[in-house]
């Protein structure tokens, strides 16, 4: 698990990113709203890891709308479990139907 950023900012905890996206399972299909949570040393790496994970899950295409850092553990599910998974090195994908 990556615990230090690529810049001069020192952090005590891993950098957990959230990526808000729309992804497509079929060509021309309806978009699926997603939140992806993961640890990464920087936002470029977070984007690459997100796209790789979505591809591995069978998504053909994805539009990444927003990326940000989570500054504290969320209280509500499903984000609380996804945050914990990200701290454990997983790329957690939350689907909204």
Cβ contact 95:32 at 8 Å: yes
pLDDT of residue 97 exceeding 90, the answer is no
pLDDT of residue 38 exceeding 90, the answer is yes
pLDDT of residue 1 exceeding 50, the answer is no
pLDDT in tens, 48-67: 999 999 999 999 999 999 99
Coil, strand, or helix at residue 72? coil
Cβ contact 46:69 at 8 Å: no
Model pTM? 0.85
- Reference 97, options 17, 27, 35; nearest CA is 35
């Amino acid at each position: 698990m990556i615990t230090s950023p690529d810049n001069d900012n020192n952090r005590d905890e891993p950098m957990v990113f959230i990526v808000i996206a729309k992804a497509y399972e079929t060509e021309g299909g309806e978009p699926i709203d997603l939140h992806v949570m993961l640890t990464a040393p920087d936002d470029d790496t977070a984007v690459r890891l997100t796209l790789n994970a979505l591809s591995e899950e069978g998504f053909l295409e994805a539009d990444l709308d927003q990326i940000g850092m989570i500054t504290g553990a969320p209280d509500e599910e499903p984000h609380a479990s996804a945050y914990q998974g990200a701290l454990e090195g997983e790329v957690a994908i939350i689907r909204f139907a």
